[in-house]
Amino acid sequence: MSGPVPVGATAPDFVLRDQNNQEVSLAALREQGPVLVVFFPLAFTGTCEGELGYIRDRLPEFTADGMSTVAVSVGPPPTHKVWSSAQGFLFPILSDFWPHGAVAQEYGVFDEVRGIPNRGTFLVDRDATVLFSAMVGPGEARTAQTWEAVLGVVAP
């Protein structure tokens, strides 16, 4: 795939372990409502902390109307546990550790050279249809406008 999964496409399903080593299934989350899937390169980096901190600080908006929010990176669950506890992240931080970056690859956001995901942002509805799709590359950060655009799709 060249580029991120586009709007209107079917979102690839996944089952990944969260920071508590519990399995989290996209299909199960979709039963409750739309799911925001946020790929990030690495824990313990300033840009990633800032982006996920934006979600943390506005969590009621990112969980309104049955919406779930999950963040996905290639780090292992124990690393995500320490990081999420230190940062106060109360949403699942999922590990795409092994096979390394497989889910990020399916979503078209894996950086093969660096071995980490780019910052992909996807909103998936109950039927697995992608309602929002965006990606920024290495060294770039998502802006507040990206988050507002996602929230505007959920509650126009």
Q: Is 25 inside any structural domain?
A: yes
Quote the longest CA-to-CA distance of the chain.
Answer: 38
Q: Is 6 inside any structural domain?
A: no
Average pLDDT over residues 51-77: 94
Q: Is 27 inside any structural domain?
A: yes
Of the two residues 1 and 86, the one the predictor is more confident about is 86
Q: Is 43 inside any structural domain?
A: yes
**Domain of 129: which CATH number?**
3.40.30.10
The first and second tokens of residue 18, run together, are 């969260």
Q: pLDDT-based confidence at 154, cuts 50/70/90?
A: confident
Q: Is 69 inside any structural domain?
A: yes
pLDDT score of 84 more than 80:
yes
Phi, psi of 3 (to 5 degrees): 95, 170
Domain ranges, residue 79: 15-154
Look at the alpha carbons of 114, 69, 26, 156 in this order and tell me if their dihedral is positive or negative.
negative
Residue with token string 């980096």: 45
pLDDT score of 1 more than 70:
no
pLDDT score of 95 more than 60:
yes
C-alpha–C-alpha distance, residues 68 and 91, integer Å: 8
3-class DSSP state of 82: helix
C-alpha–C-alpha distance, residues 54 and 76, integer Å: 22
Angle at the Cα of 155 from the Cα atoms of 149 and 156, rounded to 5 degrees: 70
pTM of the complete model: 0.95
Active site residues: 48
**Cis status, amide bond into 99, omega within 30 of 0:** yes
Q: Are 98 and 77 in contact (CB under 8 A)?
A: no
Count of domains for the chain:
1
Q: Is 83 inside any structural domain?
A: yes
Q: Are 122 and 143 in contact (CB under 8 A)?
A: no
| β 23-25/15-17 pair status | antiparallel
C-alpha–C-alpha distance, residues 105 and 46, integer Å: 24
Residue 118: per-residue pLDDT: 96
Q: pLDDT-based confidence at 45, cuts 50/70/90?
A: confident
Residue 156: per-residue pLDDT: 58
Q: Is 140 inside any structural domain?
A: yes
